[in-house]
A and B are shown apart, each in its own frame.
Chain A
């Protein structure tokens, strides 16, 4: 199916474990983004990528790692999960100079 998909939709893990959230888009968009959504904070940018092998930090990058070896995939890894990383995570993509971002359905992560 065309679009942007995130997996898993729901994840429960324990503190200290490594977790990887997947994001896949079929449009060949250059830009991809990871946000976390928390009550009272709206969406905050974690990391973004302008192209394959080009990534940069956003507003709240601590505790997260990203990679982008292929244009269509942009996984987000929590190297050692903490309770404060309990959140809803959204992936998005956009074309160069188009400014409109398209969002996945989100991953709800609970860290116990």
Chain B
């Protein structure tokens, strides 16, 4: 079984400042990792994914994440945030080669960008 921990439930940040949203996971097998974003009153959409290869992955809207296997982390970063980045962000994992495409989600981090 897998589990995902997002330690920060809320992260306030000023516009144009950098931000990091933390994600740690636990799994007895190798996993694929994802970040999804949910804008108010909308469904989730994929921000980026790590399947294999380079541990630094780039996603939409200037976000990037780094997979660290030794620390079982997949933190999300953006060097300069915009008001429009205000949303809830979810980290998720699924096991390699099985799991039926099922995702295990973290509890989410609410990013609030202020002027």
Contact = CB atoms under 8 A, between A and B. Distances in A.
Interface residues of A, number: 27
B53 interface: no
Contacts, number: 60
B32 A104 contact: no
B63 interface: no
Given A31-B101, A98-B101, A42 B90 contact: yes
B44 A45 contact: no
A42 B43 contact: no
A43 B45 CA distance: 13
Interface stretch (B12-20, B69-77, B78-86, B104-112): B104-112
Interface string A38-82: 001111110010100000101000000000000000000000000
Interface of B: 6, 9, 32, 34, 36, 41-46, 49, 51, 90, 94, 100-103, 105-108
22 contacts: A31-B100, A31-B101, A33-B103, A42-B6, A42-B105, A42-B106, A42-B107, A42-B108, A43-B90, A48-B101, A58-B102, A90-B43, A92-B43, A97-B101, A98-B101, A99-B94, A100-B34, A101-B44, A103-B43, A105-B42, A105-B43, A106-B41
